[in-house]
């Protein structure tokens, strides 16, 4: 694994300044860029560790604090091991903040994150890849459809509400997507029932999008996150294999 160098960075947006984590191979050579969209628990050591692993595989990785409008990370005080079942008040705090990050705001911010990577000497020229977790999977799909000329590939893991019947559902951007997409769904995930999995698959197929949708048997929402009660080691390693394979095909 390549040695990496990570640092805190600030990204100007139309609504303020988003704090973020940027990590890349320590040799300083420009590398293909990956924009990593956080889960609902936010920018924390677990996500920095995941970004470090990606950087060690040869990529420049940016992890923005999507909730920057509510303060710099950590926006929420979290235990080292997160078990929302034992601590329901965690989601009571996070839920309203998630709801305030509308698709319109998220896509305005996405433009700023993509500009930051385009301007970064650590990032190679050309389109980037995306990977998103939980709410980040939703935002990754929206970004791929909103900025098709900037996104070459996008992955989403244990994403919720990817194909709802609302007018701002992420699957409705399928016709605009030019990137290759990969989704790793958790089959024990109430936020993505079977009908939404089928609706997403149908939309991507109808739009001619290159895509793979896989259901991880026995996996719960959040299965990639080692600091939570939802973690599944086998599912996590499968996610890494799928993500790195997608990036190799892309770059």
**What CATH number does residue 83 fall under?**
3.40.50.1820
E-assigned strand segments in 14-134: 16-25, 33-37, 60-64, 128-133
pTM of the model: 0.98
Mean pLDDT for all residues in the chain: 97
Active centre residues (catalytic) = 134, 189, 221
Q: Show the low-confidence residues of the chain (pLDDT under 70).
A: none
Is residue 201 within 8 A of residue 189, CB to CB? The reply is no
Instruction: Give residues with Cβ within 8 angstroms of 135, minimum separation 6.
Output: 37, 38, 39, 40, 66, 98, 101, 159, 160
CA 173 to chain centre: 17
Give the whole-angstrom CA distance, residue 147 versus residue 209.
Answer: 15
Q: What is the structure's pLDDT at 85? A: 80
Which pLDDT score, from 0 to 100, does residue 96 have? Answer: 96
Q: Can you give the residue range of the structural domain that contains 153?
A: 4-250
Domain count of the chain?
A: 1
């Amino acid at each position: 694994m390549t040695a990496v160098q990570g640092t805190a960075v600030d990204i100007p947006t139309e609504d303020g300044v988003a704090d973020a984590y940027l990590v890349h191979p320590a040799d300083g050579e420009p590398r293909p860029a990956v924009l990593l969209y956080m889960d609902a628990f936010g920018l924390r050591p677990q996500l920095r560790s995941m970004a470090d692993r990606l950087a060690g595989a040869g990529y420049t990785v940016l992890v923005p604090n999507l909730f920057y409008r509510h303060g710099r990370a950590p926006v929420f005080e979290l235990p080292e091991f997160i078990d929302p079942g034992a601590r329901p008040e965690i989601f009571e705090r996070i839920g309203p903040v998630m709801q305030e990050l509308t698709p319109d705001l998220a896509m305005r911010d996405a433009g700023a994150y993509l500009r930051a990577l385009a301007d970064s000497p650590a990032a190679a020229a050309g389109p980037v890849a995306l990977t998103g977790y939980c709410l980040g999977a939703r935002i990754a799909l929206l970004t791929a459809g909103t900025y098709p000329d900037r996104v070459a590939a996008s992955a989403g893991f244990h994403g919720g509400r990817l194909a709802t019947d609302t007018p701002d559902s992420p699957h409705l951007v399928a016709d605009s997507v030019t990137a290759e997409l990969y989704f790793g769904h958790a089959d024990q995930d109430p936020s993505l029932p079977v009908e939404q999995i089928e609706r997403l698959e149908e939309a991507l197929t109808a739009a001619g999008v290159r895509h793979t949708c896989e259901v991880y048997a026995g996996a719960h929402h959040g299965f990639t996150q080692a600091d939570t009660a939802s973690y599944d080691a086998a599912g996590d390693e499968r996610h890494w294999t799928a993500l790195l394979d997608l990036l190799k095909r892309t770059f």
